[in-house]
Each structure stands twice: as C-alpha cells, then as structure tokens.
Structure 1
Amino acid sequence: MKSPVPDTTPSDCEEGSDCTPLLQHAPRAETAPVCCSARYNLAFLAFFGFFVLYSLRVNLSVALVDMVDSNTTAAENRTSSECAEHSAPIKVLHNQTGVTFPAMHAMWSSWAPPLERSKLLSISYAGAQLGTVVSLPLSGIICFYLNWTYVFYLFGLVGIIWFILWTWLVSDTPDTHRTISPYEKEYILSSLRNQLSSQKSVPWIPMLKSLPLWAIVVAHFSYNWTFYTLLTLLPTYMKEVLRFNIQENGFLSAVPYFGCWVCMILSGQAADNLRAKWNFSTLCVRRVFSLIGMFGPAVFLVAAGFIGCDYSLAVAFLTISTTLGGFCSSGFSISHLDIAPSYAGILLGITNTFATIPGMIGPVIARSLTPENTIREWQTVFCIAAALNVFGAIFFTLFGKGEVQGWAVSDHHGHKN
C-alpha cells in the first residue's frame, strides 16, 4: 500500500473555511481504483435499487388505467376552449419518496470519499430517472399486448433479484465489507477520518440552529415547488388549456426523465472533476450547480406560460426544464453530506419533509388561481413557481456551506472528538 500523501492547505486559509475542496487537517490517501471497487459496486447496486423503486411506482400508474372499470364516471370537465383539442385526457399518478433517500444518504456518509460524493450519489439516484424512462413505455406495451398483471410479475421479479443481490453484496460500512481491498478501505476511512462524529446522541439543538441546514431546506422546498409544477401542473396545463396530453405518448412522457438522467450522471462527473482537478471549492461547485439547476427550470417554466397554443414548445420546455433540474443532484441535494456526514440521513429527512409540502399545496393553489383555465391565469401559476425557485437558489447561494460544521464533529461541549 502506498503511504498517504499529506494534504496541502494554503497558509492564508482560516480553519473551517472552504477555500479548498480537500480535507484540511488529515492526510489523504491516493485515490483507490474505480474498477471493481466496493464503493462503485455499491453505487451501481443503489442505481438499480432506485431503478426498481421508481419502476414499481410508474408501472402502477400505467397499469391502473387497465385495472379500473372502463365505465367509471368521468371527472368534472374543466377543459379550456382557448386552444384546439389534440387528444383525449388520461390520468397518470405522481407520488414521492419515503425512507429510501435518507437511508441511502446515511449509507454514503460512511462510503463516499469527499471528492467522489457527486459522482457516487449522482450514479445512485439517477436510477430513479432511468426507472421512469424504461417502465413508462414498457408497462404500456405489456398492458397492450399481454395483461396488466404481467407488469407486476415482471417488475416484482426484478425487485426480488435486486433484493437478493443487495443483501448478499452490500455492507453498512467499509469495515464490515467482506471483499473490499485493504487499500480501498484505507482510502475511504482516511478521507473521512476528520469528518465523522463519535457522538452517541444526535445534537438536535445545534443542528436545528444551523443556517446552512435551513439553506438546504429552503432550496429543497423551492426546487420541489417548481418540480411539481413542471411534472404535475404543466401536463395539466397542456391537457386542459393546450388540449394536448403528453402522457398519452409513452416516448414523450419518458424524454424529460431521460434528459434528467443524463444530466445527473454528467453533472456528477463534472462537479467532482472541478473539485479534484481544478481545485474549485466544494461550496463554489454546490452554488454554481444549484443556480443552474434552479434558474434554468424557472426560466423555461415562465416561458411555458407565454407560448400561446404551441404544444410542441410546451413539450420542449418541459424536457429542457426537467433536464436542467438534474444539475441540482450535484448542488444542494448532497450538501447534507458536506456539512454533516454523520447525520446526512437525518438532515435529508428534515429537508425532504419540508420539500413534500409543495406536492400537497401546490396543486391546490394552482386550482384556486385558475378558475377559468385561461392562459393568463396559468401564467400567474408559473411565475409564482419560478419566483420561488429563484429565491431558493439565491438563499442557498448566500447561506449554504460546503465544509463540515462544528456541531457535526464535536461533543456537546464544543470540543473536537
């Protein structure tokens, strides 16, 4: 094993600042190889886990169309007459995550070296997007040529296979992994040595007083408001105002998620390269990627309200907006691990709790603002969502942090472990 290479820190850096992306007070082992490594095996298994998770969600939405009685009473018709009709409506459900993301964040707190976090987490969570891309058209094909029951048989079998592989190959920490190489284990443990806490209890009070945490909360809340507007309300706008339903076309339904998947993978690689090779600070990278991933969707969301009856542009704007949102996967979305690796799962649970609120109140507010379903009414809805997204991006830029916070590595008396 090669001896650790000491990390160099500029002499004018203050302790606890984020002027360099490298660890400032601990030696850093040379990067362990990627090929056949335990940490990347974990990333790919997590990828397929989220692939299965979102496949099971989407296929229910598609199969439900065949499951329900065709004679069910139609819902109240609120379709606008401003634009010519292109197709008939169809109902597609959208739902949101539970314990899986916080659990994965908690696992990565022990597995992800600081300079590989963007890559590893973007690979993991991109499985959700690909699961949507694959299962949306595939479930429709299965329902058409076979029967809706085969949708559950197929994806259920895939889920069982993944579960067996996960329980057999994955360990909670590098210390307990059966096949990890000593070199890789040392690389991971040495990179995290000064970032993890040995406290037995959670420092709730300093955690909840932490402004960087609330910066993530605001960004997560704002991003999800636009996210839900794009993926729930914009299709509604297209159906009821533009008289075109993107959900009827499996390919068009999958394109926005495919764009987001590609963007997540590429942005994760770019973010870590900027930190490791170009010496960009962690905070700088998180700020830039959050700004792109929140300002971009805001711009195209506003534009969607001013396109008149051009449903082709609406599809294009939906795709571009969702794609640009993928930058946030390497922005505020993983800042929980930057500021408090030991409590990343708890922090994500807190931020995600607030981030689910837009999914509950966003559609209600949109309905109250669009009693006549006119284009002008929907412009107001889109502008509100865009303004929230811009506010969240600015708030995170001003108050977000990229280094481990003192309360995350100290005991209750403020002394380092």
Structure 2
Amino acid sequence: MQMDNQLPPQKAPGFCSFRYGLSFLLHCCNVIIMAQRTCLNLTMVVMVNSTDPHGLPNISTKKLLDNIKGIVATAQSEIYVKWAPPLERGRLTSMSASGFLLGPFIVLVVTGVICESLGWPMVFYIFGACGCALCLLWLFLFYDDPKDHPCISISEKEYITSSLVQQVSSSRPSLPIKAMLKSLPVWAIAIGSFTFFWSNNIMTVYTPIFIDSMLHVNIKQNGFLSSLPNLFACICGILAGHLSDFFLARNILSVTAVRKLFTAAGCLLPATFGVCLPYLSSSFYGTVIFLILAGATSSFSLGGALINGLDIAPRYFGFIKACTNLIGMIGGLISSTLTGLILNQDPESAWFKTFILMAAINVIGLIFYLIAGEAEIQDWAKEKQHTRL
C-alpha cells in the first residue's frame, strides 16, 4: 500500500537525538503549563471550604490560564513544521502534547500534600518558579530551524531537512483563507478538536468534583484519584503517536485510515465509559476504573484529528492549528460552563446528563470527521511551480 505524501525512510539518528530532546523539553513545558492551570481545580475545593476571605476561586485567573495554554499549543504546532520528519510526526507531537496530560497527574498528586502541609498559596509559588526555570532553559536551547542550531549533529540535520524538502518551502505566500474556509478536511479537523476539548475539559476540570460528590474521600485521596486519568491519558497519547507512526512506516494503513482510526478511538471510547459512570456509584473500584478509562482514552485523538493539519497543509499548519484550537477552546469553554450550570440546577441527575451530552457531541463530531476527513495535501496548500516559456 502506498502511503500518502510520504518520502522513503532514511537512516536517521536514534532516539537520543536533538529532535527527541526538543520534544521532551516541550513535554516538560507543557507539564508545567497544565500544572499551573489544573492546580486551581483542586485548590478550589480547599478554598471554598476555607473560612479565609481570600480563599475564593478566581475564575478570571482560570480563564487566563486556559488562554495561555491555547497560545502555547498553537505556537508549538509551527515548530514541528520544520522539526518533525513525516514518519515521526506522531511520536514527536504526541510526546510533547502528552505533557498537557501528564501535568494534571503530577499536580493533583502533590497539590493535596502541599495544601495540607504548606497551605494552598504555596502551590502557585512552586509551580510558578518551575515555569520560570523552564522558560530560561527554552530561550537558550531552542532555534526556529534545525539548519541554524549549533548543537544538532550534521547527520540529523541532513535527515530532517531532506525528509521535509518536498513539503516545507522557505517562501510563505499569502494565506488562502477562502480556500481554507471552503475545505471540508479543515472543518473536519476543527470539529475533531471541538469534540476533544469538550470531553477533555469536562474530565480535567470536574473529575475532583465528581470524586468528591460520588466517592466522598479526603483531599489527599481526591488528588491521587483525580490524577490517575491524566497519567493513563499521557500513556495512551504517547502510545497513539507510536502506533500511528508504526502503521505508516510498515505500510499497514494509509495516512487517512490511521487518522480516522485514532479519532474514532478517541471519540467512542470516552463516550462509552463516561455514559457508564453514573450507574457505578455503588462500586468504588468500578467508578475509579471507568473514570480512568473515560479520561484516558480521549488522548488517542493525538494520533488522529489533532495532528491531521500537518498532513493536509504542512505549509500552513501553524495557522490551521491556531484556528482549530480556537474552535476547540470554544468547545471546552462551553462544556465546562454548561456542566457547571447542570450541576447547580439538577444535582440528582447532573452527571448522567453531562456524560450523555458528552457522548452525543463525540458521536456527532466523529461522524462528520469520518465523512469529511482526509490526509492528502490539499491543492490550495501545494507550492505552485512557475515555469518559463
């Protein structure tokens, strides 16, 4: 089977290469970004129960952190246009993006301990200091183009540039906005991002509240149990990246089939496990297991719709990622706001309504993606060849 738009594989530097180091550094940055965002979800439980007049949740701060996450994710997408060879896109992007999933695991594990031993304000000081340290490290180590980096080996530099020579051009013409707006594959990616952010935001923001209302555990236990879905989501995301690259490198599936397969897994599995959750309230271990599965399996989309823009328009991937992330963030904002309203108005059946709605959004989004999604470079994204007569 011939793969879509792929160059023949070449011998490349191994796992201990600079591009993997860069991906790991991005992973660490994303861990801290999400730690700074997610720690507010658990500290809210402490702040709301506190008699301290300063212990009120700052919603504007939370929205600001959400916006920062979106900006950083968009900026990172442009990095892989020049740093990710076609047959390594899945593993490199999933490795860095999995930091967004591992961050909540780390922070939820340690936040409860910090709150009880040092007080909740120290949570923000600690993760803020870690962010400053990583920012300095990034400024010294990152270069926009592998050709300009002084530390990368010559063989790795040649491998990256040669693998991208047919897809990345030094010239960037004006954006074909009208063609993008008419492109169904672009809208399929946008809808895929919408469904991912919808599900992921609910599971990230409301898992501590769900555990508190259903399992009635203390803050330390809540932090640990809330962190488990994020740990397994990180594992599933990395696995999705490696498996997608494996299928492509071995010519087992086409790029289009791979993207649709992992998008289907990332939509259907969390929908199924989420719908089952309200019926397991009497079983502690059953609730925990299905909560982990519902939160973890959505990250299979990292090998599907969330990377699909790099297939259809590598020259404009940064812009497409920015637009689809914006639509995704709107989905996340709507889902978290709507879930909060449902919890306030109908506490008895709130979780059932929340997960049924999540399942419906996932299924509708998946159907659209399966119909309209593609992985071939679109005509409007190809470099025009000018010839003289």
Q: Shorter-chain-normalised TM-score: which range?
A: 0.7 to 0.9
Residue 92 (structure 2) aligns with: 120
Matched, 1:39 2:12: no
Q: Secondary structure at the match of 1:356?
A: helix
| Closer/same/farther in 2, CA of residues 179 and 251 from structure 1, 3 Å limit | same
Partner in structure 1 of residue 233 of structure 2: 260
Deviations for 1:20-40, whole angstroms, at most 9, x for unmatched residues?
Answer: 1452xxx64613112442211
1:20 aligns with 2:3: yes
**Alpha-carbon distance between aligned partners in 1 of 2:278 and 2:46, rounded to the nearest angstrom:** 33
Q: Secondary structure at 1:31's aligned position in 2?
A: coil
Q: Could you tell me whether the CA contact under 8 Å between 2:38 and 2:204 is conserved in 1?
A: no
Partners in 1 of 2:310 and 2:226 — Cα distance? 32
Instruction: Go from structure 1 to structure 2 and tell me whether the alpha carbon gap of 1:286 and 1:71 turns closer, same or farther (over 3 Å shift).
Output: same
- Aligned twin of 1:205: 178
Q: 1:40 to 1:393 in 2, by over 3 A?
A: same
The 2-side partners of 1:238 and 1:410 are apart by 52
- How many residue pairs match? The answer is 375
Q: Percent identity?
A: 34
Greater shift in the superposed pair: 363-372 or 31-40: 363-372
- Relative to structure 1, the CA distance from residue 366 to residue 161 in structure 2 (aligned partners, 3 Å threshold; closer, same or farther) is closer
Letter in 2 for 1:171: Y
Which amino acid letter does the alignment assign opposite residue 389 of structure 1? N
TM-score (norm 1): 0.81
The residue that corresponds to 1:291 in the other structure is 264
- Aligned partner of 1:131 in structure 2 is 103
1:357 to 330, 353, 357: 330
Q: 1:247 to 1:274 in 2, by over 3 A?
A: farther
User: Match of 2:152, SS?
Assistant: coil
Where in structure 1 are there 5+ consecutive unaligned residues?
A: 1-9, 11-18, 76-92
**Which residues of structure 2 form unaligned runs of 5+?**
57-61
Q: By how many angstroms is 1:128 displaced?
A: 2.0
Give CA deviations for 1:186-222 in whole Å, capped at 9, x if unaligned.
2111211121243332221112221110001111112
TM-superposed deviation, 1:384: 2.3
In structure 2, the partner of 1:16 is none
Q: How far apart, CA to CA, are the structure 2 residues paired with 1:55 and 1:369?
A: 26
Asked whether 1:274 is paired with 2:241, we answer: no
SS at match of 1:306: helix
Distance 1:63 1:230, change over 3 A: closer
Distance 1:28 1:134 in 2: 39
- The residue identity in structure 2 corresponding to 1:70 is T
Larger Rg: 1
Is residue 185 from structure 1 mapped to residue 157 from structure 2 by the alignment? yes
Q: Does 1:314 align with 2:295?
A: no
Cα deviation digits, residues 318-372 of structure 1 (max 9, x gap): 2101111121111111111111122212111111111122333334544665634
User: Does the 8 A contact of 2:281 with 2:287 survive in 1?
Assistant: no
How many Å separate the matches in 1 of 2:204 and 2:101? 13
Partner SS, residue 189 of structure 2: helix
Structure 2 residue aligned with 1:70, among 38, 42, 51?
51
Pair 345,129 (structure 1): closer, same or farther in 2 beyond 3 Å? same
Q: Which has the higher helix share?
A: 2
How far 1:397 sits from its partner (Å)?
1.7
